[in-house]
Structure 1
Amino acid sequence: MPTRLSLFLSPCLLAAALAAALSIPAWAQSPPEQPLTPEQFSACVQSLAEQTSTAGRPLSRADFERIAATGKYDDRVRQSMQVAAGEPTFWWDELAATTDEDRVREGRAILAREAQTLQKIESQFGVPKEIVVAIYGIETNFGPAQGKIPVLDAALSYACLRPCPTSATGTGSCVARERAYAAVRVLRDKRVRTDNWQGSWAAAFGRTQFVPDSFEQLAVDFDGDGVADIINSEADAWATTANHLKQRGGWDLNAPVYLEVAVPQAQQAEFAASGKSIRLADRARPLSQWMAQGWRVLTAEGQPVTLQLDNDPQMYPFLPVGLPGPAFLVSRNFETILRYNRSERYVMEVALLAHKIAGGRDFATAWPTDDPGLTRAQVRELQAWLAQRGHAQVTPDGVMGRNTRDAIEQEFVAKGLPPQRRVGQRTMRLLMQP
C-alpha cells in the first residue's frame, strides 16, 4: 500500500521527508560500546577533581573529592544513551503518545484540583498554567516517573561518558562536567535529601526534571516551607518551571507558542521536505505581515482565515517535516521552551498538550503518513499481546522501549514480513491479526 508520502512526493523528496520526520538527539549519538571499567571511572573522577577551578560556581577540590567519593558508576546511563541513539522515532509517533487523551484528561484534572495555586504561579511568573502542567505531564507523567538512578551517580557517569573537548578549559565551559560539579554542590549545601535523590540517566530530577545546575540557579520555594523541594512539592516544582521559562528567554503572554498555518501556494516550493526540519528564526516579523503576504491561520476544522492578535507578536515559520505536513508560525515562546529542553519535538509536545488541556484540538493538517502513531493505551495493548506471544521481557507500560521494539521485529519476521521495529495504527492491526 503506498503511503501518503509516496502519493505526494518524488522518491528524492520522500527520503528527505522521512529523514526530517526521524530524530536522534545530538547529545545521545555514539555512546561508548562498553561499560567503563572501575579504573576508567576512578581516573575520570580524579580528572574532574583536578579541574574544579573551571566550575561555574565555587567548588573546592576537597569538597568535590569528599562527596564524589560516595558516587558510583551506573551503566544504566550508557545503556540509556544507546537506546536514545539507536531508536530514531517519527514526529507522529511521539506526539500521539505524549499528548494522548489520557494525559489531556489528567492535566485538566490537575488544573481543576490546584486551580488557586496554578493561577498564583501564572500571575507571579507570567507563564500560562497550561504550559506548566503540560511540562509536568510530559516530564514525569504528572509525578510518578521521576527516575530511579541516584543523581550523583548519573551526573558523574554522564560526565565520564561524555568527556569534555580539550578546548573546554574556561569556567563553566563543559555542560557534562558542570552538571557533575553542580550535583556535588547541591549535596554539599544540603539542598536535597540524599536518601531519595534519584532521577533520570541524564541526572535530571524532580517532578518537572531539573538538572542540578539549573536547580541551583532557579529553584523556588513556593509553598513557603523554607525549602525549594521539586521532588515532593508540586507547587515548588511548578513555580521552578515557571521561573525557568521566565528567566531563560522570557514569556510573552500576548503570543501563542504556535499558529498552524497554510503556506501560500507560490511559496510552497521553498518549504518542500529537505531531510531536516525547517525553522527560520531569522525571518521573524509581525503576524500582520505574514497575513498580508497571504499566509493564513488554520481553524480546528482546517479552514484558512486571517488573524489579528494584540500587540501583533513577532513570528516565524517552522515546518517539522517540510511540505506536505503541518506548517506553523511560532513565537519567541517557542525559543523559551527550547531552552528548557533542546528539542524542537519537545517544544511542540508541550505546546500541543497545553493547547489540548486548554480545550483545543490536534493539528488540522495530517502528518504525511498512512500509518499514524499510537496512543499509550494502544502501546499497552500491543505490549500485552506481545507478552502473551511469549515475549516475557515486554512490560505493558505504554513506553515503546528497546524490549518492545525487539519483540515487534521478531513478530514481523515470524509472520514472514519484512522486519521493522516500529508500528503505527495500520501496522499494529497487520501485526496482531490472526
Structure 2
Amino acid sequence: MTLKPPLVCSLLATTLLSLPAAADASFDRCIGDLRTEAQTRGIKPETFDTYARNLEPDNSVLGQLDYQPEFRTPIWDYLAGLVDDERIADGHAMMQQWATTLQAVEAAYGIDPATIVAVWGVESNFGRTVGKRPLLTSLATLSCQGRRQGFFRGEFFATLRIIENGDVDAARLTGSWAGAFGHTQFMPSTFARVAVDFDGDGRRDLVDSIPDALASTANFLAKAGWIGGQPWGYEVALPAGFDTSLAGRHNKRSIADWMRLGIQRIDRTPLEPSTTAAAILLPAGEGGPAFLVLRNFDAIYSYNTAESYALAIAHLSDRLRGAAAFVRPWPTDDPGLSRAERREVQTLLTRLGYPVGEIDGVIGKTSREAIEEVQRQNGLEPSGRAGRYMLGVLRRLAGTSAGTGS
C-alpha cells in the first residue's frame, strides 16, 4: 500500500520525536545499572543519588573518542605550540615561584623541578587550561554510549570515590572530555593510585592545591620507573646508511652498542659507553631529528602513551634547564606556529571578516574553517592548517607586517 504524503510526514515526525525519548530512556536505564554497580564497589547509595542519579548525557564528548592531536597533528605543529618562548618563560617563572615546594618534592620523590614543571606546562598551561566539562557528566555519557564503556565506567566510579572521600568538591571536578582533571590532568583512576597530600591538609587535591598536584606528578613518574640523575635522552646524529629498522622505542640496546653503530650526540659531546639500555626515536622519519631515549623517556611516555607528547615534555624540560632548540630541523618547508603566531592568525582572520571567537591561540574548528575559506578564495588547497606559509598569506591579505596582532 502506498502511503499518502500527509501520513508519511506524520509518521516521520512521530519517529523523529521518539528518538530523543528512546535515547533518554536508554541513558536512564544505564544510570540505574551504574547505581547498582556502584554499590558493589562500596560507593554509598546516597553518594550516587546526590551526585549522579539525575545526570543527563553530554553527547558532544562522543565525537572526541577518536580524535587525539598527539596522533593526528604533524609533530612540528604539535611541538611548536607546546614548546614556545612563551611557555618557556612561564615555566621559568613557575620554577622560581614554587622553588621551595619543588625542592621538597624532589627530595621526597627524586624528580627534578624542570621535569615536573614541564608536565605542568604541557598538561594545563600551568593551571590556566584545565577543562570545563563536569567530570561525572562526561564519564557517565562515555560509560553508557560509544566504545570503551568498561574503561570509562571505572573512571566514573573513581570520580565518585574522590567526592565521597572528600578530596575534591564535586563542583570543582571539571576537566577534559575524557575525565582528566586538575593542574596536571590526572585521570580519576590515576588519582586513586598515586595522588598524594603534600600540603598536609588531609586532602589530595589536584585542583586547588599546587603542592599536591606537583608532588602527585612526581610520585607518578617515580612509580613509572624514573631514574634520578639520568637524562631522558639526547638528540643524536645518525651515521650514513643507518638502518632505520633498528629505530623504535621498544628496540633497545646498550648505549655502547649504539656507539659501535656510529651514533653520536648531535653536539659531538661524547656518549658514555655504558650498558644502559636505550632506543633510537625517529619521530619524523630519517629526514628529521633523531633521539637516543633512555628509561626516563619511557616514564614520561607512560603519562599519556604518545611519543610526541613525551618528546614535548622532555624537550620543554631541557629548555627550562637552559638547553637550546633541536639542532636538526623538521623535514618540512612550512614550519609550525607558536601560540603567539596562532593568536596572530586568529586576529588577522577576524580583521578579514571571519569571526573565530576568542583569540586564544587554539586553532579549533571555527578557525580551521575560516582558514579553509581563505585558502579556497586564493586558489590554495583547503587544508585548514595554520602554518608559517598561511600566516604569511594572511599578513599580505590584511596588509600587515610580521608580528602585527600577535
For the criterion TM > 0.5, the same-fold answer is yes
Residue 229 of structure 1 corresponds to which residue in structure 2?
Answer: 205
Amino acid at match of 2:189: D
Instruction: Give the conservation status (yes or no) of the 8 Å contact 1:316–1:329.
Output: yes
2:63 and 2:70 map into 1 onto residues whose CA distance is 10
> Bigger CA drift: 384-393 or 354-363?
384-393
1:420 and 1:186 map into 2 onto residues whose CA distance is 43
Q: 1:360 aligns with which of 318, 323, 330?
A: 323
Q: 2:366 aligns with which of 380, 387, 403?
A: 403
Amino acid at match of 2:228: L
- Please give the per-residue CA displacement for 1:337-388, whole angstroms capped at 9, x wherever unaligned: 1221121111011101111011011111111101010000000000011112
1:202–1:42 Cα change, 3 Å: same
Q: Residue 342 of structure 2: SS of its match in structure 1?
A: helix
2:22 and 2:249 map into 1 onto residues whose CA distance is 41
Shift of 1:298: 0.7
Q: 2:111 aligns with which of 118, 127, 131?
A: 127
Shift of 1:144: 1.6
2:179 and 2:340 map into 1 onto residues whose CA distance is 28
Q: Residue 241 of structure 2: SS of its match in structure 1?
A: helix
Count of matched residue positions in the alignment of Structure 1 and Structure 2: 378
Shift of 1:36: 9.4
Shift of 1:201: 1.1
1:83 and 1:39 map into 2 onto residues whose CA distance is 28
Instruction: Give the conservation status (yes or no) of the 8 Å contact 1:83–1:402.
Output: no
Residue 101 of structure 1 corresponds to which residue in structure 2?
Answer: 85
Q: Residue 261 of structure 1: SS of its match in structure 2?
A: strand
RMSD: 2.6
Instruction: Give the conservation status (yes or no) of the 8 Å contact 2:232–2:314.
Output: yes
Residue 232 of structure 2 corresponds to which residue in structure 1?
Answer: 257
Residue 183 of structure 2 corresponds to which residue in structure 1?
Answer: 207
Residue 311 of structure 2 corresponds to which residue in structure 1?
Answer: 348
1:320–1:250 Cα change, 3 Å: same
1:185–1:269 Cα change, 3 Å: closer
Gaps of 5+ in 1: 1-33, 166-173, 272-277
Q: Does 1:44 align with 2:30?
A: yes
- Please give the per-residue CA displacement for 1:41-68, whole angstroms capped at 9, x wherever unaligned: 223323334545885xx44677545642
Percent identical: 34
1:228–1:50 Cα change, 3 Å: closer
2:133 and 2:22 map into 1 onto residues whose CA distance is 17
Residue 152 of structure 2 corresponds to which residue in structure 1?
Answer: 176
Q: Residue 129 of structure 2: SS of its match in structure 1?
A: coil
1:183 and 1:116 map into 2 onto residues whose CA distance is 31
1:335–1:117 Cα change, 3 Å: same
1:343 and 1:195 map into 2 onto residues whose CA distance is 31
Shift of 1:268: 3.9
1:28-427 map, 5 Å: 37-52=23-38, 58-59=42-43, 64=48, 67-81=51-65, 84=68, 88-164=72-148, 174-247=150-223, 249-268=224-243, 270=245, 279-281=248-250, 283-299=251-267, 304-308=268-272, 313-427=276-390
Instruction: Give the conservation status (yes or no) of the 8 Å contact 2:349–2:394.
Output: no
Instruction: Give the conservation status (yes or no) of the 8 Å contact 1:317–1:330.
Output: yes
TM-score by length of 1: 0.81
Instruction: Give the conservation status (yes or no) of the 8 Å contact 2:346–2:356.
Output: no
> Bigger CA drift: 314-323 or 75-84?
75-84
Shift of 1:218: 1.4
Q: Residue 242 of structure 2: SS of its match in structure 1?
A: helix
Amino acid at match of 2:254: P
Instruction: Give the conservation status (yes or no) of the 8 Å contact 2:281–2:290.
Output: yes
Q: Which has the higher contact order (CA 8 A, sep 6+)?
A: 1
1:86–1:337 Cα change, 3 Å: closer
Question: Which one has the largest radius of gyration?
Answer: 2
1:35–1:338 Cα change, 3 Å: farther
- Please give the per-residue CA displacement for 1:311-350, whole angstroms capped at 9, x wherever unaligned: 7532111111221111111111122112211211110111
Q: Residue 306 of structure 1: SS of its match in structure 2?
A: coil
1:124–1:85 Cα change, 3 Å: closer
Instruction: Give the conservation status (yes or no) of the 8 Å contact 2:376–2:382.
Output: yes
Amino acid at match of 2:180: A
Q: Residue 267 of structure 1: SS of its match in structure 2?
A: coil
Shift of 1:159: 2.1
